[in-house]
Structure 1
């Protein structure tokens, strides 16, 4: 839901994920991943693939992305990711939301912000490291 923003489409994606897991449950161990890590990566991959498959807008815009809103922090417990995102600088927090909640790729972020892809990678890496410091394990 966080990536697709459409319940029926998210349910279809979830069904695809269940089918993939059913057919290839050994995928996690084959790739050397923990099962939950593999499942999360698979879910994000399926959602982003569906998002990219949507029709392009008539105005010729590159992608039908929308600005990813900041998550609500009402009721967020201290140390949660939502609370930590509010403490990051806005460019860092917005880049994380766009990449990991909105499904934008490095290339999409670079084109949108008019910066080199290497700068996007560095920004996301620094932002993730800072977020890791703010959210206890």
Structure 2
């Protein structure tokens, strides 16, 4: 049974938390890369101060380091669990400071803090997709790979590619068309 990309991303994040709980130190880096933007956004929105938000975020990852073994997939998604930790750390900093800073939200409103960044699980899905595309691109014949990279990643037109490669326009169009067909087939493989 195929899993949705979002489910795969949640499972990967859950697996990284479990790996961290098991002592795999590199798992913390993967978790940080996948979640730090969202968690920082939560802390910043609550605290209204970048430095305070950075400190709160650091506290979140220190807590995670110590408490990864407490994560229970049956009770929460990994990103929800981490977001709750971030919210709690930020609120703790508000309480310790004794006042709400300018631009910060109330403690009650902190539960519904919006984050303009993409969700961590969506970022994981996009990262996986990008890695898959680059992997499949590397499998193409070199001239097809080059034409597709220059056209779609570099912004070159077919005319520019034909002139640079000193080949007819129809040759470039054929290379790109055949390359895209192979690329699509590779990307869609389970």
Q: Same fold (TM over 0.5)?
A: no
Q: Per residue, is there more helix in 1 or in 2?
A: 2
Taking structure 2 as the reference length, the TM-score comes to 0.31
